[in-house]
């Protein structure tokens, strides 16, 4: 008699290129389901391009708190967080607008390989589930089952400034002024004697140094910015809603797909969620495009409309916007509504998409005789 019930051959490990939040979230989801996973990371550590940066894990796109969402996705929340309920904004005339929210607006997290950082926590969870992470392993070709998660491939926005030590009290400050951060915002974050100050610009990359200098001067004047041991830091963001987020048979996740918050660049949650969805598509044999278009695209489409409206506002519009935000008592809910699809935003979407596409071809960085962070770093040297 022949043995018809042979044990099926074990499936080959799933390969993942990139150990950022997107790649690690995908690896953890696959490992939870019992799949073998090998993550290839080009650098010697996680979060290399951020090196101790502080970032905000936004808490306004879902009704549920972001930490509960991560837990429901099977992801660790064992990284250090500083819940942020308030902050101080300035308009171009230096007028102060204080914002305050009863509920957490965002959680400040550290990025990079440090203890307590988001990237470290995800790495440790992945490894504890048996995921093999190969450092200094740049993957340029993918064969077999795999997910591509190598971060931004183009720069639609850049954030440039410094990391530093300081005696300043903890806080979060931002300035909306096109003379410091064209179509974006400048920000200053201080936690436990460490800080980051950046100009986050959506245009005018060639004048990066000028905008950073103006940002430093403005924060010195407005809040007494003091920096000890400043170290330059910056990076780029890729904002794009693709028709399909597959490269051949391989799902693209996080910023490699262009998934970002086009309005302000809070991309971590989209990176993580797209990683989880790509893993689920491999596990369940579902079409990844169907999943992300259902779960993530409505919010990203709205974010494009928000971006185009914001970029048209100018300094007077920002000032009006800040005044109305500072009067809100339910700020988190107001922001959440701004990120949800609505009839007016659906109607504006085709116009906004066309306009956003043409802004992406902005000649403010034509890569010729340019020394902005994008041209210095290049797309592949993150």
Ligand X SMILES: Cc1cc2nc3c(=O)[nH]c(=O)nc-3n(C[C@H](O)[C@H](O)[C@H](O)COP(=O)(O)OP(=O)(O)OC[C@H]3O[C@@H](n4cnc5c(N)ncnc54)[C@H](O)[C@@H]3O)c2cc1C
Decide whether 140 or 167 has the Cβ nearer to ligand X.
Answer: 140
CB of 6 vs ligand X, minimal distance in Å: 36
Give the H/E segment covering residue 119.
helix 118-128
How far apart (Å, rounded) are the C-alpha atoms in residues 256 and 254?
Answer: 5
18 touches ligand X by CB under 6 A: yes
42 touches ligand X by CB under 6 A: yes
CB of 324 vs ligand X, minimal distance in Å: 23
332 touches ligand X by CB under 6 A: no
Q: Which residue stretch of 208-216, 266-274, 340-348, 364-372 sits at the interface with ligand X (rule: CB under 6 A)?
A: 266-274
Could you say which of 14, 15, 23, 215 contacts ligand X (CB under 6 A)? 23
User: Binding string, 196-235, against ligand X, x = CB under 6 A?
Assistant: --------------------------------------xx
CB of 62 vs ligand X, minimal distance in Å: 13
Q: Are 317 and 323 in contact (CB under 8 A)?
A: no
Q: Which residue stretch of 212-220, 254-262, 315-323, 352-360 sits at the interface with ligand X (rule: CB under 6 A)?
A: 254-262
Instruction: Tell me, by CB under 6 A, how many residues bind ligand X.
Output: 37
255 touches ligand X by CB under 6 A: yes
Task: Identify the three-state secondary structure at position 275.
Answer: helix
Query: Token pair 């969805």 is at which residue?
Result: 277
Could you say which of 87, 184, 195, 237 contacts ligand X (CB under 6 A)? 237
How far apart (Å, rounded) are the C-alpha atoms in residues 350 and 334?
Answer: 24
Q: Residues 134 to 193: which contact ligand X by CB under 6 A?
A: 138-140, 149-151, 159
Instruction: Compute the half-sphere exposure of residue 80: CA atoms within 13 Å on the CB side of its CA.
Output: 13
How far apart (Å, rounded) are the C-alpha atoms in residues 85 and 104?
Answer: 5
CB of 3 vs ligand X, minimal distance in Å: 42
- In the chain, count H helices and then E strands: 10, 16
DSSP 41-73: -SSSSTTTTTTT-EEEEE-SSSSS-HHHHHHHT
Could you say which of 268, 305, 322, 348 contacts ligand X (CB under 6 A)? 268
Could you say which of 14, 15, 27, 56 contacts ligand X (CB under 6 A)? 56
CB of 165 vs ligand X, minimal distance in Å: 18
How far apart (Å, rounded) are the C-alpha atoms in residues 197 and 177?
Answer: 15
Q: Are 16 and 26 in contact (CB under 8 A)?
A: yes
- If we measure between CA atoms, which residue out of 83, 60, 63 comes closest to residue 72? 63
CB of 116 vs ligand X, minimal distance in Å: 16
Are β-strands 14-17 and 37-40 bridged in parallel, bridged antiparallel, or unpaired? Answer: parallel
Q: Which residues of this protein are in contact with ligand X, per CB under 6 A? A: 17-23, 40-43, 48-49, 53, 55-56, 58, 138-140, 149-151, 159, 234-235, 237, 254-256, 260, 265-268, 271, 382
């Amino acid at each position: 008699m022949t043995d018809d019930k042979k044990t099926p051959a074990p499936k080959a490990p799933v390969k993942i290129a990139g150990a950022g939040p997107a790649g690690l979230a995908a690896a953890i989801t696959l490992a939870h389901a019992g799949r073998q996973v090998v993550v290839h990371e080009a650098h010697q550590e996680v979060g290399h391009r951020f090196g101790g940066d502080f970032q905000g894990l936004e808490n306004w796109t879902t009704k549920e708190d972001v930490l509960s969402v991560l837990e429901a996705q099977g992801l660790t929340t064992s990284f250090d967080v500083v819940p942020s309920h308030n902050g101080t904004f300035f308009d171009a005339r230096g007028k102060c607008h204080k914002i305050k929210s009863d509920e957490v607006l965002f959680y400040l997290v550290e990025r990079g390989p440090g203890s307590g950082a988001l990237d470290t926590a995800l790495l440790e969870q992945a490894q504890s589930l048996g995921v093999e992470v190969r450092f200094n392993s740049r993957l340029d070709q993918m064969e077999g089952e795999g997910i591509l998660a190598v971060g931004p491939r183009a720069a639609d926005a850049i954030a440039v400034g410094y990391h530093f030590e300081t005696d300043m009290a903890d806080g979060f400050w931002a300035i909306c002024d096109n003379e410091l951060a064209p179509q974006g915002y400048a920000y200053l974050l201080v936690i436990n004697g460490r800080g980051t100050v950046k100009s986050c610009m959506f245009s005018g990359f060639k004048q990066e140094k000028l905008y950073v200098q103006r940002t430093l001067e403005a924060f010195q004047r407005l809040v007494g910015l003091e920096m000890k041991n400043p170290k330059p830091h910056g990076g780029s963001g890729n904002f794009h809603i693709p028709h399909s987020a597959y490269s051949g048979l391989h799902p693209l996740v996080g910023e490699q797909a262009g998934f970002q918050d086009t309005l302000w660049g809070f991309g971590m949650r989209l990176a993580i969620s797209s990683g989880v969805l790509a893993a689920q598509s491999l596990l369940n044999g579902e079409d990844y495009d169907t999943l992300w278009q259902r779960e993530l695209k409505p919010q990203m489409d709205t974010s494009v409309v928000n971006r185009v409206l914001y970029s048209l506002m100018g300094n007077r519009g920002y000032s009006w916007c800040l005044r109305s935000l500072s009067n809100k008592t339910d700020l988190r809910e107001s922001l959440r509504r701004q990120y949800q699809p609505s009839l007016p935003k659906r109607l504006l979407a085709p116009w906004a998409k066309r306009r956003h596409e043409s802004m992406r071809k902005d000649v403010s960085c034509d890569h010729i005789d340019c020394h902005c962070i994008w041209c210095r770093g290049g797309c592949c040297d993150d």
